């Protein structure tokens, strides 16, 4: 029984002080991201389909629009040859 307690104590201590995992910042489904700056911290919101929509959302705020470096655009379609 003592051995079990001595195994549980270190595991509980490690899990109590472990940092939470962070999710992916950039959403690969959208080509434009809004990077916002503030006292509470900075964050990136990748939910914009065009630069104009993003700029409208950034207007009047401490923010800027950037291209999403992880945007997974659909591959270009190849034209089929017709005879």
Q: What is the pLDDT of residue 77?
A: 76
Q: Is residue 70 a contact partner of residue 30, using CB atoms and an 8 Å limit?
A: no
Closest CA to 50 of 34, 37, 35: 34
The model's pLDDT over 16-73, given as tens digits with 9 standing for 90+, comes to: 555 555 566 788 889 999 999 999 889 999 999 999 999 999 999 999 999 998 898 8
Q: What is the pLDDT of residue 56?
A: 96
Measured from the Cβ of residue 46, the count of other Cβ atoms closer than 10 Å reads 22
pTM, 2 dp: 0.60
């Amino acid at each position: 029984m003592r051995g079990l307690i001595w195994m549980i104590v270190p595991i509980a201590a490690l899990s109590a002080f472990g940092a939470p995992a962070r999710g992916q910042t950039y959403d690969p489904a959208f080509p434009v991201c809004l990077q916002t700056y503030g006292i509470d911290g900075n964050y990136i919101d990748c939910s914009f389909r065009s630069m104009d929509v993003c700029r409208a959302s950034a207007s009047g705020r401490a923010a800027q629009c950037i291209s999403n470096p992880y945007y997974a655009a659909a591959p270009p379609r190849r034209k089929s040859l017709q005879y």
